[in-house]
Amino acid sequence: MPDNIPFMTIPIDWRVPGQYIEIDHTKAVRGLPGMPRRILILGQRRTTGTVAAGVLTRVSRKEDGVNYFGRGSMLAQMIDASIKVNPYTETWALALDDLVAGVTAAGTITVTGTATAAGTLYVYVGGVRIAVGIAAAAVANTIATNIAAAINANLDLAVTAAAALGVVTLTARHKGVEGNDINIRFSYYDGETIPSGVTLAIVAMSGGSGNPDVLTAIAAMSTGAYYTIVMPWTDSANMVSMESELSNRWGGMDMRTGHCFSFKNGTYSGLSTYGSARNSAHTTVPGLNKSPTLPWVIAAQFAAIADFSAGIDPAVPFRSLSLPDVMAPAEADRFTSQERNLLMYDGISTIIFDESGKAMIEQIITTYQTNTFGLNDISLLKLNTKWTVDYIRYAFRYAVARDFPRHKLAGDDVLPFIQAGQPIATPKLIKNTLIGEAMKLVKVGLIEDIEQFKRDLIVVRSDADPNRVNAIIPPNIVNQFDVFAAAVQFIL
């Protein structure tokens, strides 16, 4: 027979004298919950690392990337970029080996002429500045040898170099398509010049093919929950695999929300074509044309700073968040505002630069563009929307679990007769919990129009299952102040 006060650990038939007081913590937390967030960085490793492929590994500093996955590896470079802007979020890494059947990208720097004066040549490899000393009267073969030696001296670069007959051949450290986007250039900043008498000709990196299969990584992370995932591979097969996995996790029976960030280098037309072919609420692909920075580094830094901001407040616009490692393309290669606007209609997120060349996020969208009927749909276009709704879902779920952890279920008609303290839930009591949680969400600026919420909220017992309550929770989420438009109608 139940007692009038229910206990969790003290039996009602205990006769041994004493004072028995249990600690019930179930009602201690009354505010909004903090939602756990974890970053997962996927990438290729080198065999010089100590961690094998397919092993989830927690990282907290740039040295972890070097030690665990090899110096100069894709994954080491990504970890460094991520931790630079977000050292606070719990971060994990998962390495894959190069595809055995893959091919490494390669490019060349051809040197001609003889230096008529001593000087310093600045070569940029994936955005990393390499200084090369050039002596007066140095011939092309000597200069090429010096360039190769300077590149090979930096073990963190994405390429290795070899020189012969005045030609420096650059080879990506990893096999795969992404190596084709390793940018090679010289004299990026004002004042950097090529020593007189010397001419350089660059053939861009190309020929890389065969990315690792992300299904291997998905299998390795199958039981974990990672809120922000960085994936360096942008080929269609890997994108489809990740989109499918995250779509399954998003559903109501799993709820392990994850969002994947990649980066795509390309011209306006190339990015437009690429973005138009994607349609997922669970992927974000920013794009630039010819940024010197490695594409996987941009993806990692973009994702990490977005995660940091959203962890504080998912509804605050991501606009103006700084990306310190992202180098600006040349002025002629930057997208105009009209082009960026159109790219946003093709599922591409945008990055802008101030007059000093500092990179900032302009807008983060998902690649979701049309619904299952092929009609335009903005419901999950903005990442702010997805992450805000997901936190709201978590808050309501947490509130019900907090207020009704081990409760009996009855109809609202029993409310006038229930003794205080009885662990019993009814649709009305559950509804009150949901309204109370909604009011907290209003206070922190995540939803609006609480009266509409109360009016449209539905909580009922299931007709099919007497132990189940069904609900429709209708929050009106806040939006972002992106555009201010006005007409100045002056009077003379």
Mean pLDDT of 249-253: 95
The mean pLDDT of the chain is: 96
Residues 6+ apart with CB under 8 A from 68: 45, 49, 50, 51, 57, 59, 75, 93, 95
DSSP single-letter state for residue 249 = H
Is the pLDDT assigned to residue 29 strictly greater than 80? no
Flag whether 5 is in a domain.
no
DSSP single-letter state for residue 186 = E
Q: Give me 460's structure tokens.
A: 């009922």
Look at residue 392 in the predicted model and tell me its pLDDT. Answer: 98
Flag whether 285 is in a domain.
yes
Same domain, yes or no: 249 and 116: no
Range with the lowest mean pLDDT among 25-34, 146-155, 329-338? Answer: 25-34
* Unique residue bearing structure tokens 């990692």: 300
Same domain, yes or no: 372 and 257: yes
CATH code at position 117: 3.90.1160
Look at residue 3 in the predicted model and tell me its pLDDT. Answer: 64
Same domain, yes or no: 373 and 254: yes
Look at residue 12 in the predicted model and tell me its pLDDT. Answer: 84
How buried is residue 141: exposed, middle or buried, by Cβ count under 10 Å (0-12/13-18/19+)?
middle
Mean pLDDT of 52-69: 97
Given 386, 414, 445, the domain boundary residue is 386
Flag whether 427 is in a domain.
yes
Question: In this predicted model, what pLDDT tens digit does every residue of 97-120 receive, in sequence order?
Answer: 999 999 999 999 999 999 999 999
Same domain, yes or no: 172 and 50: no
Given 163, 187, 206, the domain boundary residue is 206
Same domain, yes or no: 244 and 379: yes
Rounded CA separation 388/257 (Å): 12
Flag whether 30 is in a domain.
no
Same domain, yes or no: 90 and 113: no
Please check whether residue 159 is in contact with residue 180, taking contact to mean a CB–CB distance below 8 angstroms: no
Is the pLDDT assigned to residue 346 strictly greater than 80? yes
Rounded CA separation 402/28 (Å): 9
Flag whether 392 is in a domain.
no
Task: Give the residues across from 109 on adjacent strands.
Answer: 168, 202
Is the pLDDT assigned to residue 79 strictly greater than 90? yes
The DSSP element (H or E) to which 121 belongs, if any, is strand 119-125
Q: Give me 246's structure tokens.
A: 């995250």
Same domain, yes or no: 56 and 85: yes
Q: Give the CA distances from residue 217 to residues 89, 152, 256, 304, in Å, rounded to whole numbers and listed in that order.
A: 21, 31, 16, 19
The DSSP string of 354-414 is -TT--EEEEE-B-S--B-TTS-B--TTTBHHHHHHHHHHHHHHHHHHHHH-SS-EE--GGG
Within 10 angstroms of residue 450's Cβ, the number of other Cβ atoms is: 16
Cα angle 256, 258, 259; round to 5: 165
Residues 6+ apart with CB under 8 A from 363: 318, 319, 340, 344, 349, 350, 482
Question: In this predicted model, what pLDDT tens digit does every residue of 253-309 receive, in sequence order?
Answer: 999 999 999 999 999 999 999 999 999 999 999 999 999 999 999 999 999 999 999
Q: How far is CA 337 from the centre of its chain?
A: 24
Rounded CA separation 490/424 (Å): 66
Give the residue from 164, 152, 161 showing the smallest Cα distance to 205: 161
Is the pLDDT assigned to residue 394 strictly greater than 90? yes
Residues 6+ apart with CB under 8 A from 67: 49, 50
Number of H helices, E strands in the chain: 11, 22
Domain, as residue range, for 148: 104-206
What backbone torsions phi and psi does residue 480 show, to the nearest 5 degrees? -110, 140
Flag whether 12 is in a domain.
no
Rounded CA separation 189/169 (Å): 24
* Total-model pTM: 0.95
Count of the separate structural domains present in the chain: 3
Please check whether residue 78 is in contact with residue 161, taking contact to mean a CB–CB distance below 8 angstroms: no
Is residue 39 classed as helix, strand or coil in its secondary structure?
Answer: strand
Look at residue 107 in the predicted model and tell me its pLDDT. Answer: 98
pLDDT-derived band at 354 (thresholds 50, 70, 90) equals very high
Same domain, yes or no: 472 and 338: no
Given 164, 185, 206, the domain boundary residue is 206
Mean pLDDT of 232-246: 98
Is the pLDDT assigned to residue 1 strictly greater than 70? no
Please check whether residue 158 is in contact with residue 265, taking contact to mean a CB–CB distance below 8 angstroms: no
Question: In this predicted model, what pLDDT tens digit does every residue of 154-197 receive, in sequence order?
Answer: 999 999 999 999 999 999 999 999 999 999 999 999 999 999 99
Question: In this predicted model, what pLDDT tens digit does every residue of 412-459 receive, in sequence order?
Answer: 999 999 888 889 999 999 999 999 999 999 999 999 999 999 999 999
Same domain, yes or no: 115 and 193: yes
Rounded CA separation 89/39 (Å): 7
Look at residue 30 in the predicted model and tell me its pLDDT. Answer: 77
Phi/psi-derived region of residue 274, left when phi > 0, alpha when psi is between -120 and 50, beta in every other case:
alpha
